Amino acid sequence: MPHKVYFIGAGPGDPELLTLRGLRALQGCHTVFAPTPYEETFAEHLADKAIFVPFEFYFDELLERIRALLQEGPVAFLVPGDLTFYAPFQGLIDTLGETAEVIPGVGTANAASARLKKTLDLPGVCKSAIITSPRTLGDEPGDPKLRDYARPGNTLLIYMNNLPPAELVSELRTGYGRDVPIALVHRLGLPGEEIVRGTLDDIVEKIGDRDFFNIASQSRKPALTLVLVGDTLAAQEDGTWWDYRRENIWQYHDSA
């Protein structure tokens, strides 16, 4: 059987969050394309393997390299989080066709929800959770702005933020029309992890002069910081919805 290229959802960076299927695929590959910082954080799983940084190649060079490596054995890519959101590997996967296999992983959104111990929707509090990024909203007239999604009842998960904190907060405040809880999750599961929780009123002060979004840096690479905003972050749930579901949903299942 021809060898495969495995696009392994590697989680936010902590190898403890690799799935068993991802680990098995990785163990079977002698060549791994690993974006920084995965070559360091996954070091114990990468010993004796040839490691390449995928973003050091142009697309055609990369394909040529992959096809040459496939003559020797299967090849792995460690996909930050996983393929579901903001992953740059779609062109490779489509071009490789049947040769590509995608293994799901723990997205940063999942790991952030666990770290904050908050579900991102909550009956009566949050009606929709929206994944977005100011980098991808576009700047054509008529393109939506962050403020258009920042509505009461929406939880926002903001990836790859490139707005300075005061500007981000002003945009969110315009949309929500009031103070709401916000959390910054920086380098989740990695050395240097920091979690800053607050509200739109105090988060800029709480951030202080820490540059969580690489605003001051020359680098155009997105910072490893996820922003979560919405009332669900501070809501406290009691047993009301549990009993409602018990009464109206689950017990019909029990008697079926």
Ligand X SMILES: C[S@@+](CC[C@H](N)C(=O)[O-])C[C@H]1O[C@@H](n2cnc3c(N)ncnc32)[C@H](O)[C@@H]1O
Residue 120 or residue 160: which is nearer to ligand X going by CB? 160
Q: Does 152 contact ligand X by CB under 6 A?
A: no
DSSP string, 144-176: --HHHH--TTEEEEE-S--S-HHHHHHHHHHHH
Question: 157: closest CA among 90, 66, 86?
Answer: 86
Strand partners, 117: none
CA 33 – CA 174 distance, rounded (Å): 42
- Token pair recorded at residue 184: 């910054």
- Token pair recorded at residue 206: 């709480």
Q: Does 182 contact ligand X by CB under 6 A?
A: no
Does residue 37 have a cis bond before it (omega within 30 degrees)? yes
Residue 125 or residue 184: which is nearer to ligand X going by CB? 184
Strand partners, 8: 78, 103
Q: How far is the CB of 140 from ligand X (least distance, A)?
A: 22
Q: Which member of 190, 196, 204, 234 binds ligand X (CB under 6 A)?
A: 190
Count of chain residues binding ligand X (CB under 6 A): 23
Residue 87 or residue 234: which is nearer to ligand X going by CB? 87
| Residues 72 to 131 in contact with ligand X, rule: CB under 6 A | 80-82, 84-87, 107-108
Q: Does 183 contact ligand X by CB under 6 A?
A: no
Residue 69 or residue 77: which is nearer to ligand X going by CB? 77
Q: Are 131 and 159 in contact (CB under 8 A)?
A: yes
Q: Does 185 contact ligand X by CB under 6 A?
A: yes
Q: Does 229 contact ligand X by CB under 6 A?
A: no
CA 142 – CA 95 distance, rounded (Å): 33
Q: How far is the CB of 241 from ligand X (least distance, A)?
A: 28
Residue 125 or residue 168: which is nearer to ligand X going by CB? 168
Query: What is the binding site for ligand X (CB under 6 A)?
Result: 12-13, 80-82, 84-87, 107-108, 159-160, 185, 187-190, 222-226
